[in-house]
């Protein structure tokens, strides 16, 4: 009986080892040799540092403010982006929209969305592609917030495909650019800056302002040195702002 079973047992063991060996070989090959069928390959991993913090973003246009209870949001973008939207053109490549989020009047987060040609290919797997927009969340100290689920940003803005995935496109369209003179908090009063000065003659005034009436000839409002000095400073401020 032993003589009859031994060959059969040996055959079964041989087939089993051969099958395991073939399975291992197929796994190794699939790992080492890339497939020619690129349609089945997974997209590249999402780079959380793709969108960098936009330095000096607050020098741009603060085009709208949104209030939600104890939350206040200040939105900034470039003048070029506003002009393009108001002229019925697509939002330009390279546009950055920055959202400051204040909670109880304290800066809590800074949300940034940026548009770059080809960036749509970097959209994280499982999230809707928002054109060529990518998103990033920063803490109040401008450090990157790795805990934020960026996928939520894609899902939220996906509903605004008609408006190039921008939630505040209507605010961009209605913003009055002629009133924009610089960053928020600028010390230059827009009303003063808008006064035409081409016909004014600005002349050097000595320290004692002996000839205060010579700053603006014929202006009866200059009754004393203090008023003359104030107007002189305003004129010089406007002049230097235009030069820089």
The verdict on domain 57-178 having CATH code 3.40.50.2300 is no
Mean confidence (pLDDT) of the chain: 73
> Of 12-16, 26-30, 68-72, 103-107, which gets the smallest average pLDDT?
26-30
Instruction: Determine the average pLDDT of the residues in 98-103.
Output: 98
Q: CA-CA distances (angstroms) from residue 70 to 62, 136, 167, 171?
A: 20, 23, 20, 21
In the predicted structure, residue 53 carries a pLDDT above the cut 80: yes
Query: CA distances (Å), 2 to each of 6, 11, 89, in order?
Result: 6, 15, 89
Q: Which residues pair with 135 in a beta bridge?
A: 113
Q: 1: which 2 tokens? A: 């009986």
**pLDDT tens-digit profile of 197-236?**
555 555 554 555 445 444 444 554 445 566 667 777 777 7
pLDDT, mean of residues 178-203: 54
Beta bridge partners of 9: none
- Is 167 within 8 Å of 157 (Cβ atoms)? yes
**3-class DSSP assignment, residue 184:** coil
Most confident of 145-154, 160-169, 180-189: 160-169
- Ranges of each domain in the chain: 57-178, 187-243
Residues shown for the chain: 244
CA distance 129 to 207: 65
Which residue in 74, 135, 117, 68 sits closest to 99, CA to CA?
74
Q: Decide: helix, strand or coil at residue 172.
A: helix
Residues contacting residue 58 through CB under 8 Å, at least 6 positions apart: 76, 98, 183, 184
Q: Which residue has the higher pLDDT, 122 or 138?
A: 138
From residue 215, alpha-carbon distances to 222, 223, 225, 228, 234 in Å are 9, 12, 11, 7, 12
Q: How far apart are CA 241 and CA 244, in angstroms?
A: 5
What are phi and psi for residue 167, nearest 5 degrees? -70, -25
Distance of CA 221 to the CA centre of its chain: 48
Tell which residue, 55, 64, 60, 58, has the closest CA to residue 80: 60
Highest mean pLDDT (candidates 42-56, 91-105, 208-222, 227-241) = 91-105
Task: Identify the pLDDT of residue 226.
Answer: 63
């Amino acid at each position: 009986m032993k003589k009859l079973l031994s060959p059969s047992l040996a055959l079964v063991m041989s087939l089993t080892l051969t099958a395991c060996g073939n399975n291992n070989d197929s796994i190794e090959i699939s790992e080492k040799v890339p497939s020619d069928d690129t349609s089945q390959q997974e997209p590249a991993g999402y780079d959380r540092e793709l969108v960098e913090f936009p330095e000096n973003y607050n020098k741009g246009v603060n085009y709208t403010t949104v209030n939600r209870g104890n939350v206040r949001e200040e939105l900034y973008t470039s003048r070029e982006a506003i002009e393009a939207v108001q002229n019925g053109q697509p939002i330009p490549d390279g546009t950055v929209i920055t959202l400051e989020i204040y909670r109880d009047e304290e800066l809590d987060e800074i949300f940034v969305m940026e548009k770059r040609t080809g960036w749509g290919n970097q959209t994280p797997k499982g999230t809707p592609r928002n054109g060529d927009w990518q998103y990033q969340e920063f803490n109040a100290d401008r450090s990157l917030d790795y805990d934020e689920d960026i996928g939520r940003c894609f899902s939220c803005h996906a509903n605004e495909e008609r408006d190039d995935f921008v939630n505040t496109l209507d605010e961009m369209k209605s913003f009055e650019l002629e009133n924009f003179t610089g960053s928020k908090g600028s010390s230059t009063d827009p009303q003063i800056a808008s006064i035409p000065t081409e016909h004014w003659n600005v002349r050097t005034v000595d320290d004692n302002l002996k000839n205060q009436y010579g700053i603006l000839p014929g202006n009866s409002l200059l009754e004393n040195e203090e008023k003359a000095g104030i107007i002189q400073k305003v004129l010089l401020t406007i002049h230097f702002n235009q030069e820089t």
